[in-house]
Amino acid sequence: MLIKRPQEIPSSEITDRSVYLRRREFLSCSIDAGLTAAALGAFGSLAAPSVLAGEKISGIAKSAYVTDEELTPYESATTYNNFYEFGTAKEDPSLYAKDFRTRPWSVTVEGECARPGTYALEDFLKPHALEERIYRLRCVEAWSMVIPWVGFPLADLIRRFEPTGNAKYVEFTTLLDPQQMPGQRRAVLDWPYVEGLRMDEAMHPLTILAAGMYGEVLPNQNGAPLRLVVPWKYGFKSIKSIVKLRFTEEQPGSTWNRAAPDEYGFYSNVNPERDHPRWSQAKERRIGEFLKRPTLPFNGYADQVASLYTGMDLVNRYF
Ligand SMILES: Nc1nc2c(c(=O)[nH]1)N[C@H]1C(S)=C(S)[C@@H](COP(=O)(O)O)O[C@H]1N2
Ligand SMILES: [Mo]
């Protein structure tokens, strides 16, 4: 079967598609009265078969999770990236992920839960109304950004799959596809990229899955079609282009932790008191700013998340 690449779709067809989308919204209204009109708008555009990175998402709900700090310019957030599957230089993902195909896409749910299976992305997202979350993002390389994500609480998704009492952790896996991901042709990391969270971290209201940013469908270089965002942890925990969730009893491995266990712990909570061997974590450079600013414990989210770690030694043992 010949699949058209997005950039090959003539503009006449794109107009047709927007009419199709409106019709589709109307249709889904009559099918599922339980969803709000706003949510349907968002779902409508994300469920399109040839959804384009950068396309506006309609009906995004505002949320209380915002900051009044200045947003990082869209240009910086989409050209200064870490996504080693597309290369290790900051500009590589924006250059080499252009043709990355994010449709069709499916996500597999495995392990300790009542509803394992493989789900089309559209069905995976369908029940979730999208909201805006403006979060700080702090990379372990000591730079940071402020990004308006479009997503939904991971907790809501996890509940749908009914984890069993043995589910103590969730493991996430990125797509493995060296043909499309040139970085995976070299053993820079142990592919595919995997990450993990303790169940209470995964269920925390700050933890989201993002399908968009800046009001638009997630650009490929930022982890389309679906990535994790855990704002109180170093950026590498926020795994991109997810194809699998697995509920486990044992603490899962994580790619950076396996590569250098002394440098990258499983928890990796932002901690100005625990330096990385190569980078002091006491300060950070907000992209676009010249002077460094102090780094805050848990990236400024301590009031919300510090209680998850009561009694744990976050410097020497659970870093
Ligand atoms: N699959 C995958 N996910 C990933 C990475 C990666 O290389 N591969 N890099 C991580 C790192 S180190 C950071 S700082 C953030 C960067 O996200 P951004 O490029 O959207 O700002 O993505 C994280 N998620
Ligand atoms: Mo990072």
Q: What is the pLDDT of residues 154-173, one digit of tens each?
A: 999 999 999 999 999 999 99
In DSSP terms, 173 is beta-bridged to 194, 244
Which residues form the pocket of ligand 1, taking CB atoms under 6 Å from any ligand atom?
81-85, 137, 139, 174, 193, 222-223, 235-236, 238-241
Confidence band for 50, pLDDT divided at 50, 70 and 90? low
Task: Give the residue, 316 or 37, on which the prediction is more confident.
Answer: 316
**pLDDT number for residue 147:** 98
Distances from the Cα of 1 to the Cα of 4, 10, 52, 106, angstroms: 10, 19, 20, 19
For residue range 110-148, what is the model confidence (pLDDT) as tens digits?
A: 999 999 999 999 999 999 999 999 999 999 999 999 999
Residue 80 lies inside a defined structural domain of this protein:
yes
Mean pLDDT, residues 68-89 taken together? 98
Distance 144 CA to ligand 2 centre (A): 9
Residue 33 lies inside a defined structural domain of this protein:
no
Rounded to whole angstroms, how far apart are CA atoms 152 and 39? Answer: 11
Residue 142 lies inside a defined structural domain of this protein:
yes
Task: Give the residue, 64 or 45, on which the prediction is more confident.
Answer: 64
The arrangement of strands across the sheet holding 242-248 comes to: 117-120, 106-111, 242-248, 169-174, 194-198
Residue ranges making up the domain that contains 203: 3-21+57-309
Percent of the chain with pLDDT over 90: 82
**pLDDT number for residue 247:** 99
Residue 236: give its domain's CATH number: 3.90.420.10
Q: Which of 142, 129, 134, 127 is nearest to 206 (CA)?
A: 134
**pLDDT number for residue 46:** 64
**pLDDT number for residue 52:** 80
Percent of the chain with pLDDT over 70: 84
Please give the distance of CA 235 from its chain centroid, rounded to a whole number. Answer: 10
Task: Give the ligand 1 atom nearest the CA of 228.
Answer: 24
pLDDT over 90 at 81, yes or no: yes
Task: Give the ligand 1 atom nearest the CA of 81.
Answer: 19
pLDDT over 70 at 263, yes or no: yes
Instruction: Phi first, then psi: give them for residue 95, nearest 5 degrees.
Output: -80, -40
Mean pLDDT, residues 239-260 taken together? 97
Residue 318 lies inside a defined structural domain of this protein:
no
Atom 16 (ligand 1) nearest CA: 82
**pLDDT number for residue 317:** 94
**pLDDT number for residue 239:** 99
Distances from the Cα of 147 to the Cα of 76, 100, 222, angstroms: 10, 22, 11
Distance 91 CA to ligand 2 centre (A): 14
Confidence band for 278, pLDDT divided at 50, 70 and 90? confident
For residue range 205-233, what is the model confidence (pLDDT) as tens digits?
A: 999 999 999 999 999 999 999 999 999 99
Task: Give the ligand 1 atom nearest the CA of 234.
Answer: 14
Task: Give the residue, 16 or 135, on which the prediction is more confident.
Answer: 135
**pLDDT number for residue 13:** 36
Distance 141 CA to ligand 2 centre (A): 6
- Mean pLDDT for the chain? 88
How many separate domains does the chain show? 1
Atom 23 (ligand 1) nearest CA: 236
By the 8 A CB rule, do 181 and 100 touch?
A: yes
Rounded to whole angstroms, how far apart are CA atoms 162 and 287? Answer: 40
Distance 316 CA to ligand 1 centre (A): 25
Residue 27 lies inside a defined structural domain of this protein:
no
Task: Give the ligand 1 atom nearest the CA of 84.
Answer: 7
Distance 236 CA to ligand 2 centre (A): 5
Rounded to whole angstroms, how far apart are CA atoms 54 and 215? Answer: 9
Rounded to whole angstroms, how far apart are CA atoms 92 and 82? Answer: 9
**pLDDT number for residue 39:** 43
Residue 34 lies inside a defined structural domain of this protein:
no
Atom 6 (ligand 1) nearest CA: 83
